[in-house]
């Protein structure tokens, strides 16, 4: 095992740092190392710098990974820790995800100072979110609500809520739990009511493909169940050419060797949506995700996807 520092690249938000620290702690425990062996390197990404515009206007996925991956390719860092839901399905040449941690709660959390749940928000109330997927799902179930852009890290969004910018917001339950902010959750959204984003709640670690030492280290902390579920979900996303311009939801779960996959696509205003489900052997994870995507693409038709490009 290496004696030199392991340089871990991450974004600078409190949640991103927590995630990097968890990777460090798991590596130290798995290999009998001092956690001080890790050096967390903060890298500001385009998505962090630009806060006044929606992600769909800025190029979508990759905004929270590009600069970190450039540092990884150049050798400035040894590994990069990401929220897997931020990761494009195609990685830069020479990079790979070498390990994923056990997945946290996949659900969306409804947070409000005035309402007990999404259904109890009064007509005309304002819900803030930066997620096109959440926007579409909310508008589908509650077209009477006003949805406004809500950018920023978890603390920023909670502060905006306290300041009355919106009556409610939706955040990943996993992020709130990792930050020790679970008490902020007003209600948890069942995946039956709000299917989560692809890879929500999962942390991935990216390395250079030719860095055998880092790949071997990460293999010891890789969670096989999370890995196979993400394989199905990311295959679904890839087949749909998903980006922040496309409201897409997907969730795979395991029961022994059997997998259940659910996928959904929507128009941003919630006026159209298509959903499907697959059940089968977990060793067909990628095929199940891709097949589900093919079905939805056929059912939705070209007009649906043309509307997303407009």
User: What amino acid positions are annotated as catalytic residues?
Assistant: 86
Task: Quote the tokens at residue 122.
Answer: 């009064």
3-state helix/strand/coil string of 250-283 = EEEEEECCEEEEEEEEECCCCCCEEEEEEEEEHH
**Other CB atoms within 10 Å distance of the CB of residue 269:** 14
Give rounded-to-5 percent helix, strand, coil for the chain. 40, 25, 35
Q: How far apart are CA 46 and CA 185, in angstroms?
A: 29
Q: How far apart are CA 281 and CA 302, in angstroms?
A: 31
**CA 163 and chain centroid, separation:** 26
Residue 213's H or E segment, with its range, is helix 212-219
What does each C-alpha distance from 310 to 80, 84, 139, 160, 298 come to in angstroms? 34, 27, 19, 30, 20
Task: Quote the tokens at residue 64.
Answer: 């929270």
Coil, helix or strand at residue 95: strand
Phi/psi of residue 59, nearest 5 degrees: 115, 0
Q: Which of 78, 63, 55 minimizes the C-alpha distance to 9?
A: 78
Q: How far apart are CA 121 and CA 105, in angstroms?
A: 24
Q: Which of 250, 246, 243, 152 minimizes the C-alpha distance to 200?
A: 250
Sheet holding 258-266, edge to edge: 248-255, 258-266, 273-281
Coil, helix or strand at residue 155: helix
């Amino acid at each position: 095992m290496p004696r030199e520092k392991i340089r871990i690249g991450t974004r600078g938000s409190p949640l991103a740092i927590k995630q990097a620290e968890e990777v460090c702690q798991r590596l130290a425990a798995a290999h009998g190392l001092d956690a001080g062996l890790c050096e967390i390197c903060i890298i500001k990404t385009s998505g962090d710098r630009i806060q006044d515009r929606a992600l769909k206007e800025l190029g979508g996925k990759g905004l929270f990974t590009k600069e970190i991956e450039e540092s990884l390719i150049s050798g400035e860092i040894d590994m990069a820790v990401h929220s897997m839901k931020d990761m494009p399905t195609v990685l830069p040449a020479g990079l790979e995800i070498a390990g994923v941690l056990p997945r946290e709660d996949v659900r969306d959390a409804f947070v409000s100072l005035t309402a007990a749940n999404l259904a109890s928000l009064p007509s005309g109330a304002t819900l803030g979110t930066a997620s096109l997927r959440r926007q579409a799902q909310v508008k589908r179930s509650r077209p009477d609500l006003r949805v406004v852009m809500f950018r920023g890290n978890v603390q920023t969004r909670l502060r905006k809520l306290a300041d009355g910018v919106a009556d409610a917001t939706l955040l990943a339950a996993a992020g709130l739990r990792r930050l020790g902010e679970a008490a902020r959750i007003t209600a948890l959204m069942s995946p039956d009511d709000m299917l989560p984003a692809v890879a929500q709640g999962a942390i991935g670690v990216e390395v250079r493909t030719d860095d055998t030492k880092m790949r071997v280290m990460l293999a010891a902390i890789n969670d096989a169940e999370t890995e196979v579920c993400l394989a199905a979900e990311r295959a679904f996303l890839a087949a749909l050419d998903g980006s922040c311009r496309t409201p897409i939801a997907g969730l795979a779960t395991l029961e022994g060797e059997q997998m259940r996959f659910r996928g959904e696509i929507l128009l941003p205003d919630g006026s159209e949506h298509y959903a499907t489900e697959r059940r089968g052997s977990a060793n067909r994870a990628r095929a199940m995700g891709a097949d589900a995507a093919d079905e939805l693409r056929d059912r939705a038709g070209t007009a649906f996807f043309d509307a997303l490009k407009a």
